[in-house]
Amino acid sequence: MSAALIWFVVGLVLMLLELALPGVILVFIGLGAWVAALLVWLGWVDSLEGQMIVFAIASTVLLVVLRRVFKGWLMGITVAGDNASDLDEFLGKPVTVVTAIPADGVGKVEFKGSHWNALCAQPLGTGAAAVITGRDGLCLLVRAK
């Protein structure tokens, strides 16, 4: 069995192991083995020592440079959060009305340094204190304090 074929098989096994042990590391080590296989096949590296150096350098460079790029692709990206825990961050927190809120209308409140659209059953004037009672998307539901 040629050295190039051995490096190719090692790389393939490492990449398949990535499926069983996700961490987005083994795939780049496997690609490093394929770089070593290619250079051996082209006849650019003959000695085992040279092959090991090429493998180590290629694996490290690929891991450092490409891991962040491909991690989202290989592990998946979580877009939606847990709405129950997100709501806990808002409920019962005090806000200040920045733009008057008409009865059953939309105004603006300040919460954590940002302005948010807000709905309230009763009218609230600018500067009034209110408390968050819920959330509807990016609109806060508030009541007078």
User: Alpha-carbon distance 97 to 47, whole Å?
Assistant: 74
Domain boundaries, given as residue ranges, for the chain: 3-75, 83-144
CATH topology of domain 83-144: OB fold (Dihydrolipoamide Acetyltransferase, E2P) (2.40.50)
Q: What is the pTM of this model?
A: 0.49
Tokens of 75: 């592990």
* pLDDT digits 0-9 by tens, 26-61: 989 999 999 999 999 999 999 999 999 999 999 999
pLDDT 10s digits, 55-100 = 999 999 999 888 777 766 655 555 555 455 566 788 899 999 999 9
CA 72 to chain centre: 7
